[in-house]
Structure 1
Amino acid sequence: MQPIFDFFFDQYYNYPTLFIILEIIAVIFGFLSVWYSKQNNILVYPTGIISTLIFVYILYQWQLLGDMMINAYYFLMSIYGWYIWTRKVDPEHYTPITNTTKGENIKSVFIFIATLLFVFVVYEYFDKWNSWTAYVDTLTTAVFFVGMWQMAKRKIENWLFWIVGDIISVPLYFYKGLVFTSFQYLIFTIIAIYGYKAWKKNLRNDLRPA
């Protein structure tokens, strides 16, 4: 049993206790945020804001620039999404779940490419191309940027981006030594699959004639 425990948590032996506590808190609120998103509940945003702020601090300390920018972007998009989700499209209805339009798909491609270029420039400027994880980090950053933008717009396709990004992030964060965060992304993957199914059912019900 001890070798298994050491395999998963040995990297935490030299971590400051504060970092470990903050990571656990961030993971808990991150889990709550994704769960509320699956439930199509507005609490996805306040819980997400707490999680992302903590992760920005942690990732800055470890110089994981791409991941840090993801969470800084999440924080900003959470504020934007909070506004969109509480905005009424008419006197009785709030912004509904919908499919992405052709124009929104074009915007998604633009966000993806622009993010790749932006993160590339940041890594180049700070000379951080010292590991294969930097290239994977660049890719996941672009995937998550699109997913977060689509979620703020309440587009069902956002879940597909979360699923892809979460699957890649599980081994990536484990390799980086953030085991709790790796477990978090494993749970995120499962929730994202169910979230996609739940939103799809919600969308079908909204389209059903009254």
Structure 2
Amino acid sequence: MSLLEIFAFLTSLAGVSLGVLGPRITWIFWNLGSLLYAALFFQSSYYASAALQFLFIAGGVWGWFGWGPKGAKPRKSTDRERIFLVTSLIVFSITLWPFLLYIGATSSAIESFGFVGSVIAQLLMVWQRFEAWPIWFIVDLAYTYQYFSGGLYLTAFLYLIFTGIAVWGWVRWRREAEKTIND
């Protein structure tokens, strides 16, 4: 466990926890944690996870402006959008997997699924869709296993915490989205 991993852990935990509550400031912590994890994942040969952090940073900038000063206003996706999201997750995960094998990524199957699932969940977060949280739940479980197996124990513990936070976000954002429909 390095100092880099400890700082990445703390800032990421703050960013994701704040994300459930929806204040705009979440994106500052999200971006700092992503920058620190990009360095850690690159050092550990989790190349897709390292690259993903830069997409998280771009999403964080977009989220900062997209959420506005009052924060997130969660809403639900349509059934058609959900089918498109699940189809995209499957197709792009299968497509990315051989490339990760080719470049020698540490955990190609989980990294492929995690990368694609995280991109979709990040977009849903920026778009303030409650469906981000069930995707985060599945992705975080997969990453918990990956990082534990790879010896990044603090990061594995963080992703286990993220799994619980995803349940919290799922419940809270769904409730908020239903309020929006009823208003």
TM-score when scaled to structure 1?
Answer: 0.78
Is 1:120 aligned to residue 106 of structure 2?
no
Cα deviations by residue, 1:20-47 (Å, 9 ceiling, x for unpaired): 1111111111111111111111122110
Equivalence map 1:33-48=2 (5 Å): 33-48=15-30
Please tell me whether the aligned partners of residues 116 and 142 of structure 1 are also in contact (alpha carbons under 8 angstroms). Answer: no
- What is the aligned residue count? 182
Q: CA deviation at 1:208?
A: 2.6
Whole-Å separation in 1 of the counterparts to 2:31 and 2:9: 12
Gaps of 5+ in 2: none
- Aligned equivalent of 1:57: 39
2:53 to 68, 71, 83: 71
Whole-Å separation in 2 of the counterparts to 1:202 and 1:169: 27
Q: CA deviation at 1:136?
A: 1.7
1:96 to 56, 68, 73: 73
Amino acid at match of 1:192: A
Equivalence map 1:175-186=2 (5 Å): 175-186=149-160
Cα deviations by residue, 1:155-180 (Å, 9 ceiling, x for unpaired): 00000100001111112111101000
Equivalence map 1:149-188=2 (5 Å): 149-188=123-162
Cα deviations by residue, 1:158-207 (Å, 9 ceiling, x for unpaired): 00100001111112111101000001011111111011111112122222
SS at match of 2:37: helix
Is 1:203 aligned to residue 180 of structure 2?
no
Whole-Å separation in 1 of the counterparts to 2:147 and 2:65: 31
Amino acid at match of 2:122: M
Amino acid at match of 1:37: G
Whole-Å separation in 2 of the counterparts to 1:57 and 1:188: 20
Gaps of 5+ in 1: 1-11, 13-19, 88-92
Taking structure 1 as reference, are residues 95 and 45 closer, same or farther at Cα in structure 2, changes over 3 Å only? closer
TM-score when scaled to structure 2?
Answer: 0.88
Please tell me whether the aligned partners of residues 35 and 57 of structure 2 are also in contact (alpha carbons under 8 angstroms). Answer: yes
**Greater Cα radius of gyration, structure 1 or 2:** 1
Taking structure 1 as reference, are residues 26 and 95 closer, same or farther at Cα in structure 2, changes over 3 Å only? closer
Is 1:137 aligned to residue 115 of structure 2?
no
- Aligned equivalent of 1:25: 7
Query: RMSD value over aligned CA atoms?
Result: 2.2
Please tell me whether the aligned partners of residues 70 and 145 of structure 1 are also in contact (alpha carbons under 8 angstroms). Answer: yes
Please tell me whether the aligned partners of residues 75 and 174 of structure 2 are also in contact (alpha carbons under 8 angstroms). Answer: no
